[in-house]
Amino acid sequence: MRSGFIAVAGRPNVGKSTLVNALCGGKVAIVSDKPQTTRRRIFGVANGEDWQLVLVDLPGVQRPRDALTTRMQSRVERELADSDAALMIVNGLEGIGPGDRFIAEALRKTSTPVIVAVNKVDKLTDAKLMEVLQATADLEVGDEIYPISAKKATGLEPLMDRLRDLLPEGPFYFDPSEESDQTEATLVAELIREQVLRRTFQEVPHAVEVMIDSIEKEREDLIRVTAFAWVETNSQKGILIGAQGKMIKAIGTAARKELQRELGMKVHLDLSVRVRKDWRGDDRALDRLGIE
Ligand code: GDP
Ligand code: MG
């Protein structure tokens, strides 16, 4: 049996979480077009008969700005050091930038094997693809480059074969029926936050965290979720609630549908907004949220 941990590294927004979901065959990590969507490390698990590949979906590598981003960054460094291999993802649409060079340099310094995927090729012309493949090769990290579309699930098979080859012999770390190491409460909170991210702009998505107060199983096929959306200021609270409560209602409805789909049961969702000043700079709050 072969098993191991693959750290998925890359700038914010390159498609790391989308890829982890695609390879694990389920929604493990939430996805949005806002940077800093992924705040915690998440394990996504892909299984075969005699192999188990644990993908470590990481926050995007970036320069820390507050207690939250400092924790995110140090998490990335620890996970890279602990993995059997690293998969670096670059954004084919945006091309190679200083952020990619910064990550490539960090990866070159480790003894961990590295492979590189150029994502979002569904949006690229052949000429543009050639250009970005060359620029990726110029990063001089990893020995092979895989063009993929995480969203359209193309090019994933050769990549997966290569990842499997990198696995050392070892036992399964997770029950093969599990797609992820997240608790139900974390997954529920994240699915709600994903709907907030879809509908908010500028600084608001970064200021929101969802905190689950309780999840009660009312019937075999019905759960009741009570959750708070934390924001940092009264004006953010106003934005999240919206005129006549329209925004929070839309978020709640969309989140409830998504939860029902993911959990396969009926969901009652009681979602309210609370101001929690400076939670991103508050180590105790971050501990409570499990962002370590
Ligand atoms: P992360 O920050 O690296 O985890 O990126 P996400 O997985 O959250 O994705 C960021 C954005 O890129 C989302 O809007 C995704 O839908 C989009 N995206 C991810 N993969 C692809 C892809 O293969 N093609 C296209 N066109 N968009 C993608
Ligand atoms: Mg992500």
Residue 35 CA: nearest ligand 1 atom is 2
pLDDT number for residue 62: 72
Residue 76: pLDDT over 90: no
Q: Is 195 in the pocket of ligand 1 (CB under 6 A)?
A: no
pLDDT number for residue 153: 97
- Best probe residue, ligand 1, of 13, 17, 37 (max atoms within 8 Å of C-beta): 13
pLDDT number for residue 80: 86
pLDDT number for residue 54: 96
Residue 60: pLDDT over 90: no
SS3 state of residue 201:
coil
pLDDT band at 78 (very low <50, low <70, confident <90, very high): confident
- Ligand with the closest atom to the CA of 18: 1
- Ligand with the closest atom to the CA of 10: 1
Comparing 121-125, 169-173, 176-180, which segment has the lowest mean pLDDT?
A: 176-180
What are 241-289's pLDDT values in tens digits? 999 999 999 999 999 999 999 999 999 999 999 999 999 999 999 998 8
Comparing 34-38, 163-167, 214-218, 249-253, which segment has the lowest mean pLDDT?
A: 34-38
Cα(218) to ligand 2 centroid in Å equals: 32
Residue 13 CA: nearest ligand 1 atom is 2
Q: Once rounded to an integer, what is the mean pLDDT over residues 55-67?
A: 85
pLDDT number for residue 74: 86
CB 32 within 8 A of CB 197: yes
What are 223-234's pLDDT values in tens digits? 999 999 999 999
- Ligand with the closest atom to the CA of 29: 2
Give me the half-sphere count of Cα atoms (radius 13 Å) on the Cβ side of residue 184.
13
The residue contributing the CA closest to ligand 1 atom 24 is 120
Residue 83: pLDDT over 90: yes
Q: Is 13 in the pocket of ligand 1 (CB under 6 A)?
A: yes
pLDDT number for residue 81: 86
Cα(40) to ligand 2 centroid in Å equals: 9
Residue 189: pLDDT over 90: yes
Q: Once rounded to an integer, what is the mean pLDDT over residues 117-135?
A: 98
What are 21-56's pLDDT values in tens digits? 999 988 899 999 988 898 888 999 999 999 999 999
| Percent of the chain clearing pLDDT 70 (strictly above) | 100
Q: Once rounded to an integer, what is the mean pLDDT over residues 178-199?
A: 94
Residue 211: pLDDT over 90: yes
pLDDT number for residue 162: 96
Reported as type and span, the H/E element at residue 118 is strand 114-119
- Best probe residue, ligand 1, of 23, 31, 62, 100 (max atoms within 8 Å of C-beta): 31
Q: Is 10 in the pocket of ligand 1 (CB under 6 A)?
A: yes
Q: What are the DSSP E strand ranges found in 138-234?
A: 145-147, 209-219, 222-231
CB 171 within 8 A of CB 249: no
Q: Is 49 in the pocket of ligand 1 (CB under 6 A)?
A: no
pTM of the model: 0.91
